[in-house]
Structure 1
Amino acid sequence: MLTIALHTLRTRWSTFLGTFVALSLGVALLAVMGLTLASSLDAPERRPERFATAPVVVQGQNTLSVPTAIGAHVSRETRKLTQPRAVPEATVATLRRLGTVVPDRSFPVRAEGGPHDLVGHPWSTAAFAPYEMTQGRAPRTADEVVVTGDWTRPGDRLRTDHGTVRVVGTVRSRGFETAVFHTDARAAELSPRSTQLVVEADARDVRAAVKGESVHVLTGSARRFADPDPDRDHKALTAMNALFGTAGGVTAFVSVFVVASTFAFAVAQRRREFGLLRTAGATPGQIRRTVCAEALLVGVLASATGCVLGSYAAPRLADRVVDVGLAPGWFTIGDSRWPYHMAFWTGLLVALLGVLAASWRAGRTGAAQALREASVDSRAMTWGRLLFGTGLLLTAAVTLAVALVTDPGELLHRKTYVSRPTLLITAIALLAPLLVGPLTRLFSWLPAQLPGAGGMLVRENATAAVRRTAAVAAPVLVTVALTGSLLGATATLNEARATETRERVTADFVVVPAATGTTGSDTETTGFDAQTLRKLRTIPGTTASATSPSAVFVLEDGVALIRSEARAAEAAPLAATADLPLAAGKVSDLDDGSIIVNEEWQRHTVGQTVDVWLGDGTRKSLRIAAVMTTGTGDNGVYVTPANAPGAPVDRVDVTLASGADPAVVAGELREAGGHVSTRDEWLRASHPGTDRTTWYGFLLVLGIALLYTGISLANTMVMATSDRVRDLTVLRLAGATRRQVLRLVGAEALTVVAVGGVLGLLVAGLNLAGMQSALSLLSVHAPIRIPWPELGAVTGACAVLAVAFSVASAAWVMRRGAVELAGTRE
C-alpha cells in the first residue's frame, strides 16, 4: 500500500498540492504561535524606570486584600484600588527622621502644540530616573519648567491648562514618558495629594519604621511598581497571546476543513481507480490504508516544511508586532524547541483527521465502480454526513438555547462569538449537498430562461456535479461566515453599547476636563478643580450633575472578590440629567448609606444590604436603593461622592431649565472651563469602537481564512477541470468556441461562489440572531449590524479567485488536448 501511495503522489501531485500548501501554512502559523507564547513566558523582568536610582520607594495603600475560602483551603484575593491612599502624615514624619523624603506627584498636562501624553512631576524626582540635563537649567519659579525630549527648547513659552510657562531647560528622554518638571512647590499646588515618596535611607531601617502600617516598601526590582502602568507589559503580552491563540485555533479549524474537503473530493474523483483496485483483489482495509498513507506522507512533508517556514516567519512577525505597539519593545523570539514539536505533530494529526471520513468512503468503493462512466453524483449526501451535520446543527441550537436561558451575557464575550461560528460552519458544510442543488437552480433560473444554452448548461453542470459544487462552495462558506460573524458581532455589540449610552444620557450638554494624561501608575482622566466645578454648578437655568469614576468590590459566596466599575453622583441632579435603565427602585432613593447595583450582582433586591469595599479600600455596608438591568456589561453601580473618597470629577452633565437659551448656556459653560459638547456631539464622540488588538486579531483570522480559500479554490478547480476534458471536448465538437467554453466555466464558478456566499451569510445571520436574542434578554434593544461592505469585498475576492483558477485550468486543459480532439478553430 505504501508503494501505491508513493506512486499516487507522484502521478497525482496536482491533487495533493493544495493540501500540502494549506498544511504547510497551518503548521507554520502554529509554530509561530507556539514560539510567541514560549517567548512571552520567558519574558525578562521589567526594570524600574522612574525610580531606577531611588534607594527606597514607599507607597500608600493601593491594593485590597481579602481572605477567601474554598472548602478547607484559605487564601487571599488581591485587587488594585481605584483611589490609592496617601502615605499617612505620621508615617512621613517618622521617615523624615531616617533621611531625606521626596514626595512624588504626577498630574496630566496639556500644552498647545505639545505631545498629547504630557505628564507633570516635581523637579526633585528627576534625579531618580536619572534624567540628564541637555540644555538650560533647573526651574526656580512657578512659571518655569524643564521638559523631556526635543519637541521644544529653552526660551519657548508654552500655553498649558495650568497657565503659561517658560521652558528653562530640557533633559534627554528615557522613552517611557514625556514629562514636564515644575518646581516642587508648584507641583504641590497642582497635585496636593501624593500617594508615594522616595526615602533616602537604608531599606531595613525604613521597613522597621513602617512595620504595621498600611504602606508598601519597594526596593530593588520591585521599584518598577511605582512606574506608570507597571502591568503594561503583562497586559500587552496577554493580549498578543490571545490574538495568536485565536489565530491558531482558526488555523487548525480551517486546515482540517480544507484538508477534509480536498480529500473527500479526491476520493469521489477516484471511484474508478479504487474500483479497479477492488477488482484486482484489494480489500476495503487496504484501500483505507492507502488513502491514509497518502495523507501521512503529505502530512509529514507539509509539517516539516511548515516548521521551517515558522522558524523564519516568527522573528519577522515579532518585529512587526513590536512596531505596531502590540508587544513591548524588548520582545524577541527565544530558542524554545517545544513549539516545533507541537506544530509538527498537530499538522500530522490534522492531515489524518482530514482524511478519516474520506478513507472510510474510499474503502466502501465496490468493484463495479470501475465500469462506471457517468459523471453524475448519485449519492453525494451519505447517511453519515447527514447524521453528523444534523447532530452539529442540533448541538448549535441546543447550546444557544441553554446559553440564552442560563447566561445570555456569555454570548457577548469575544471568546464565545469567535468560537461559536465554527460549529455552524461545519454543520452547514456537511449538509451542503442538500442545499447546493436548490440554491444553484434558484441562481441559474433566470439565466436559463434567456436565449442560448449557456444558462441551462450552467444549471445542469452545477447540479449534476454536487460534490464538485459543494467542494468549491465550502471555502467560500468559511470565509463569508467568519467575516459576517466576527465583524458583525463587534459592530452589533458596539451599536448596542451606543444605544445604551443614547438612552441613558438625557442631558443637553456634557462638560469634560480639557486634559487627559498619565498620573501615578495609571492612565486616568484629569478632574475639574473646585473653582471650575463651582462655576459649572451655579450657571442660571441649569441643573448640573457632577460624576466621578470609582469602583466597589464585593465578596461573593466567600470565594470570589468581584470588582464593579462605579460612578459617584448626587441623587437629585443624577435623576434630572440621566435615565438609568432601572429594573426596580428609584434613583432619588440613593444616599450616603445606599448603592444602585445591577442584576448581575448576587444580591440585587431593593432594600437588601450588601457589604462592599469602596475604591479606597474602606469596608462599608450599603442598602440597595435601586437595581439596573444587566445590559451589555457597561451598567456598573452608582454611589454618592461620600462613598468615592478621592475620586476626581471627570464629567458634568447639564440639563436646561424650561425657557433657558441653549446658546447662552453653552457660552457660560465654556467660560467656566472644560470642553463643552451638546448631547449629540457627545454621543458621536463616545460611540464605541473596536480596540486595536481585537481589530488586528480579526484581520489576521480573516486573512488566514481568505488565504485558505484561495488555496482550496485553486486546488479544487484544478482537480475538477482535469476530469472535465471529455465534457469540454464534447462542447467543442458541438460547435462551441474556446471563448464560449471559458465563459461557461467562469459562469459556473460565479454561480458556485454565490451559493457559498449565501450559505456563509446564513451562518452569519444565525450567529448574529443569537446575539440579538441575548441582547434582548439583557434589556438592550439594538439592531443587527451586518458588515455589508466587508462581505461584498470578501465575496468579490472569492469570485475573482474562483473565476481565475477555473478559467485558467480550463484553458490549460483545452490547450493540451481538447482542441486537438475537437479539431475545430474559432
Structure 2
Amino acid sequence: MILLALGQLRRRPAAFVGLAVALFLAVATLTLFGSLFAAHITTPAAAREATTGPGLMVIAGAFGEIAVLVAFFVVVNALGFALRRQHRELALLRTIAATPRQVRRLVRGEVVLTTLLVAVPGGAVGTAAAQGFLTELQRREMAAPGVRVPGTPVPVSVALAVALAVGLTASAVAARRISRIAPAAALTASATEHGRAGAPRLLAAVGVLVGGGLLLRLAATRTAEQVDKAGQAALLGSLVLLVAVALAGPLVARVLAAGLGTPVRVLAPSAGWLADANLRGYARRLSSAVVPVALLVGLSGTMLIMTSTARHAAGTAASSVTSATDVWLRQAELALLVCFAAVSTVNTLVAVTAERRREFALLRLVGATRSQLLRMLTAEAVLTTAVGVLLGMTVAGAASAAFSTAVNGSPSPSLPVADCWWIVAGATVLTVPGILATGLWAVRGPAAELVGGGGD
C-alpha cells in the first residue's frame, strides 16, 4: 500500500498540494512553540526570572493554544479535499475487489508520506521562526536575555508525531464513507452529493455550539483585572463556534444563500439564477467554500474588535492591554491566525472550483460559452464571499460582545469600522480572484473529453 500511495502522490501531485501546505504549517507551528517551551525549560531559573514580562511559557502557551487548534482545523479541511479529488479512483478500487481496510490503509499511507515530505522543511522553518520570535521578545524585554533556543530535535520530533496523529485520525474519519459502502454504490456516490446534513452531524453541531456558548459565558464573567484570560476564552470560543458552523454548514449555507441569492438574481438574471441554483443545490460544496472564509473573517474580526474594545476601555491609561508590547503581541497573533485562515481559504476555493471541470464541460456541451460560465462563477464567488463574511462577522460579534462585557460591563464593543472593511476587502480579494483564476483553468480543454473523464 505504501508503494501504491507513493504512486498516487507522483501521478497526481496537485491533489496533495493543499494537504502538504497545511501539514507544513502545522509542523512549523508545533515546532515553533515547542522550541519556545524547550528554551524555557533548558534555561536556568535565575536567567528565566531576569525579566518583568509575562514570561516565555505564558506567551508561548497563549499563542500556541489557538494557533495549533487553527492549524489542525486547516489540516482536516485540506485532507478532506485531497480525498474528494481521489473519490472516483478510490471508488474504482472498491469495484475491483479492494477491501475497506485496504482503502483505509492506502489513505493512511498517503497521509504518512505527505507528512514525512514536509517534516524537514517544516521543522527548519519552525526552528528559525522560534529563534526570530525569541529575539523580538528579548528586544522588547519580554524574555530574559539569557534564554536560548536549544539545538535539540525533540520539538521537531514531537511536532511530527502530533501532526501524524492528527492526520491519521482525520483520514480515518474522511475515508470511512467511501470504504464502508458497497463497491457499486461507491462509484455512483463519487459523482453525486448528499446535500442534507445527517442527524448525527447536526447533533454534534448543537453540542459544539453549546460548548462555544459556555466559553463565551466564561469570557463574559471574567473581571476587568482578568482581561487576558477573557480575551483567550473569547478567542477560543469564536474558534469553537466556527467549528459548529462547519458542522452545520450545509444547512446554514443553504438558508443564507437562499436569502442573499435574490438580489444577485435581480442584478444578473441569467448568470445569477444559475449561480444561486448551483449553490443551493450543492449545499456541501457551498459549505466547504464558505467555512474558510468565515474562519478568516471570524478570527481576524474577533482579534481586531477585542483589541479596539480593550484600548477604548482603558483610555489613555497605561495597562497590560494598551502597552506597546501587548499590542505587538496581539498583532503577531493576528498575523499568524490570518496566515492559516488565508491558506485554508485559497486551498479550499481552488479545490472546490477545480473539481467541477466535468460540470463545466457538460454545460459547454449544452451550449454555454466560456464567458457565460465565468459570469456564473463571478456571481457564485460574490455569494460565497457574502455568506462567509456574514457567518464570520456573526461569530466575531458574539465573541467580542462577551469580551466587552468582561472589560467594561457592556455587551457593545468598540467597533473599528475601517479595519472591519479591510477584513471584508481581504476576504473578497482572496475569494473572487481565486475562484475566477481556477475557473479559467477549469473551462479549458475539449468538453467531450472532460465529460468522459479524460481531463481529470
Task: Give the TM interval when normalised to the shorter protein.
Answer: 0.7 to 0.9
**Corresponding residue for residue 289 of structure 1:** 105
Of structures 1 and 2, the larger Rg is shown by: 1
**Matches of 1:36 and 1:374, distance apart in 2:** 45
Q: Quick one: structure 1 residues 400 and 456, their matched pair in 2 at CA, closer, same or farther if it must change by over 3 Å? A: same
CA gap 1:35/1:353 in 2 versus in 1, 3 angstroms: same
Structure 1 residue 260, shift from structure 2 partner: 1.5
| Structure 2 segments unaligned to the other structure (5+ residues) | 452-456
For 2:413, the equivalent position in structure 1 comes to 784
Deviation string for 1:1-51 (max 9, x for gaps)? 33332222223321211111121122112212222332234446879xxxx
User: Structure 1 residue 444 and structure 2 residue 261: aligned?
Assistant: yes
Letter aligned with residue 698 of structure 1: R
* Alpha-carbon distance in 1 for matches of 2:224, 2:207: 23
Amino acid at match of 2:35: L
Structure 1 distance, partners of 2:445, 2:149, is 49
Does residue 59 of structure 2 align to residue 430 of structure 1? no
Task: Give distance in 2, aligned partners of 1:370 and 1:29.
Answer: 37
Q: 1:821 to 1:472 in 2, by over 3 A?
A: closer
The reply to whether residue 343 of structure 1 matches residue 343 of structure 2 is no
Aligned to 2:7: 7
Contact 1:392 1:426 in 2 (8 A): yes
Q: Return the alpha-carbon distance in structure 1 between the equivalents of residues 267 and 237 of structure 2.
A: 42
Shift in alpha-carbon separation, 1:766–1:729, aligned structure 2, 3 A: same
- Residue 255 in structure 1 maps to residue 71 in structure 2: yes
Whether 2:362 is the aligned partner of 1:747: answer: no
Matches of 1:781 and 1:810, distance apart in 2: 46
Contact 2:130–2:149 under 8 Å retained in 1: yes
Q: Return the match for 1:235 from 35, 52, 56.
A: 52
**Aligned partners of 1:325, 1:306: CA distance in 2, in Å?**
28
* 1:88 equivalent in structure 2: none
Match of 2:426 in 1: 797
Cα gap change, 1:446/1:252 in structure 2, threshold over 3 Å: closer, same or farther? same
Residues 379 and 260 (structure 1 numbering): CA distance in 2 closer, same or farther, change over 3 Å? same
Which structure is higher in strand share?
Answer: 1
What secondary structure sits across from 2:52 in the alignment? helix
SS in 1 for 2:98: coil
Output aligned runs, 1:652-801, within 5 Å: 685-686=316-317, 690-774=322-406, 780-781=409-410, 783-801=412-430
CA distance 1:363–1:493, shift in 2 (3 Å): same
Shift of 1:476: 1.6
Amino acid at match of 1:4: L
2:221–2:406 contact (8 Å) kept in structure 1: no
Q: How does 1:365-384 map to 2 (within 5 A)?
A: 365-372=181-188, 377-384=193-200
Q: Secondary structure at the match of 2:151?
A: coil
Shift of 1:435: 0.5
Name the CA distance, whole Å, in 2 between partners of 1:303 and 1:431. Answer: 33
Q: Alpha carbons of 1:735 and 1:687: their partners in 2 closer, same or farther (altered >3 Å)? A: farther
1:460 is the counterpart of 2:277:
yes
- Give TM-score, length-normalised by structure 2: 0.85
SS of 1:248's equivalent in the other structure is helix
Measured in 2, the distance between the counterparts of 1:489 and 1:361 equals 41
2:385 aligned counterpart, secondary structure = helix
1:25-64, aligned counterparts within 5 Å? Answer: 25-43=25-43
Kindly indicate whether the alpha-carbon contact (under 8 Å) linking 2:215 and 2:237 is maintained by their aligned counterparts in 1.
Answer: no
CA RMSD of aligned residues (A): 3.3
**Alignment CA distance shift 1:361-1:785 (3 Å):** farther
Distance 2:172 2:418 in 1: 38
Equivalent-residue separation in structure 1 for 2:151 and 2:450 (angstroms): 59
The 2-side partners of 1:416 and 1:245 are apart by 13
Deviation at 1:454, TM superposition (A): 0.9
Q: Which residue of 1 aligns with 2:115?
A: 299
Q: Which of 409, 413, 416 is 2:230 aligned to?
A: 413
Q: Partners of 2:115 and 2:190 in 1: how far apart?
A: 33
Between the aligned partners of 1:717 and 1:792, the Cα distance in structure 2 is 22
**Residues 387 and 303 (structure 1 numbering): CA distance in 2 closer, same or farther, change over 3 Å?**
farther
Which residue does the alignment assign to 1:808? 437
Partner-residue secondary structure (3-state), 1:235 = coil
Q: Structure 1 residues 289, 788: closer, same or farther in 2, change over 3 A?
A: farther
Residue-by-residue CA offset, 1:427-454 (whole Å, 9 max, x unaligned): 1221111101111122221121235411
Matches of 1:243 and 1:317, distance apart in 2: 11
Question: What does the per-residue CA deviation read over 1:387-407, in whole Å, with 9 as the maximum and x for residues that have no partner?
Answer: 221111122334555776898
**How far did residue 373 of structure 1 move?**
8.1
- Partners of 1:754 and 1:466 in 2: CA distance: 15
Could you tell me the TM-score, scaled by structure 1's length?
0.49
C-alpha distance 400-251 of structure 1, shift in aligned 2 (>3 A): closer
Task: Assess if the C-alpha contact under 8 Å between 2:234 and 2:402 holds in 1.
Answer: no
Shift of the 487–280 alpha-carbon distance from structure 1 to 2, 3 Å rule, reads same
Cα deviation, residue 455, structure 1: 0.5
Cα offset, 1:336, TM superposition: 3.1
Going from structure 1 to structure 2, the CA distance change for 1:464 and 1:704 (only over 3 Å counts) comes to farther
Task: In structure 1, list runs of 5 or more residues that go unmatched.
Answer: 48-229, 499-684
1:16 is the counterpart of 2:13: no
Contact 2:361 2:448 in 1 (8 A): yes
Secondary structure in 2 matching 1:20: helix
- AA partner of residue 429 (structure 2): V
CA distance in 1, matches of 2:65, 2:218: 24
Question: Paired residue for 1:471, among 275, 280, 288?
Answer: 288
Conservation of the 8 A alpha-carbon contact between 1:321 and 1:327:
yes
Residues 482-561 of structure 1 mapped to structure 2, 5 A cutoff: 482-498=299-315
* One of 175, 186, 191 as aligned partner of 1:359: 175
Are residues 283 and 374 of structure 1, via their aligned partners in 2, closer, same or farther at CA, if it must alter by over 3 Å? Answer: closer
Question: Would the alpha carbon gap of residues 375 and 444 (structure 1) be closer, same or farther in structure 2, given more than 3 Å must change?
Answer: farther
Q: Percent identity?
A: 29
2: CA distance, partners of 1:380 / 1:710: 27
Q: Distance in 1 between matches of 2:277 and 2:92?
A: 29
| Distance across 1 between alignment mates of 2:55 and 2:375 | 48
Distance in 1, matches of 2:16 and 2:98, equals: 23
Which AA in structure 2 matches 1:762? T
CA distance in 2, matches of 1:463, 1:41: 53
- 1:520 paired residue number: none
Give, in whole Å, the separation in 2 of the partners of 1:6 and 1:431: 35
Partner of 2:454: none
- The residue type paired with residue 30 of structure 2 is L
The one-letter code matched in structure 1 to 2:111 is A
Tell me how far 1:473 sits from its aligned partner: 1.6
Whole-Å Cα distance in 1 between the matches of residues 28 and 13 of structure 2?
21
Say if 2:163 is the partner of 1:386: no
Q: How many correspondences in the alignment?
A: 449
Structure 1 CA distance for aligned equivalents of residues 218 and 132 of structure 2: 44
Query: Which digits, 9 at most, give the CA deviation of each residue in 1:355-401, with x for residues without a partner?
Result: 33212233234323355389552245233322221111122334555
Structure 1 Cα separation of the partners of residues 423 and 448 of structure 2? 35
Deviations along 1:102-157, whole A, 9 cap, x unmatched?
xxxxxxxxxxxxxxxxxxxxxxxxxxxxxxxxxxxxxxxxxxxxxxxxxxxxxxxx
Q: d(CA) in 1 for partners of 2:276 and 2:244?
A: 25
Instruction: Give me the whole-angstrom Cα distance separating, in 2, the residues matched to 1:374 and 1:460.
Output: 21
